[in-house]
Chain A
Amino acid sequence: KAGVTQTPRYLIKTRGQQVTLSCSPISGHRSVSWYQQTPGQGLQFLFEYFSETQRNKGNFPGRFSGRQFSNSRSEMNVSTLELGDSALYLCASRPGQGARSNEKLFFGSGTQLSVL
Chain B
Amino acid sequence: EDKVVQSPLSLVVHEGDTVTLNCSYEVTNFRSLLWYKQEKKAPTFLFMLTSSGIEKKSGRLSSILDKKELFSILNITATQTGDSAIYLCAVDRSGGGADGLTFGKGTHLIIQP
Known: A102-B31, A102-B32, A109-B40. A45 touches B101 (CB 8 A): yes
Q: How far is the CB of B36 from chain A (nearest CB, A)?
A: 8
Interface size class of A (residues with CB under 8 A): 20 to 34
- B97 with A44: CB separation less than 8 A: no
Partner of B45, one of A33, A46, A106, A112: A106
Contacts of A108 in B (CB 8 A): 42
- B48 with A42: CB separation less than 8 A: no
Q: How far is the CB of B90 from chain A (nearest CB, A)?
A: 8
- A110 with B41: CB separation less than 8 A: yes
Q: How far is the CB of A96 from chain B (nearest CB, A)?
A: 12
With the chains together, A33 CA to B99 CA distance in Å? 10
Chief secondary structure at chain A's binding surface: strand
Instruction: Supply 28 A–B pairs (Cβ within 8 Å), ascending by A.
Output: A3-B42, A4-B42, A35-B103, A42-B88, A42-B103, A42-B106, A43-B43, A43-B88, A43-B90, A43-B101, A45-B100, A45-B101, A45-B102, A46-B100, A48-B100, A56-B100, A102-B31, A102-B48, A102-B50, A104-B45, A105-B101, A106-B45, A107-B36, A107-B42, A107-B43, A109-B40, A109-B41, A110-B42
**5 shortest A-B CB distances, which residue pairs?**
A45-B100, A42-B105, A43-B103, A109-B41, A109-B42
Instruction: Name A residues whose Cβ lies closer than 8 Å to a Cβ of B.
Output: 3-4, 33, 35, 41-48, 56-59, 88, 90, 100, 102, 104-110, 112
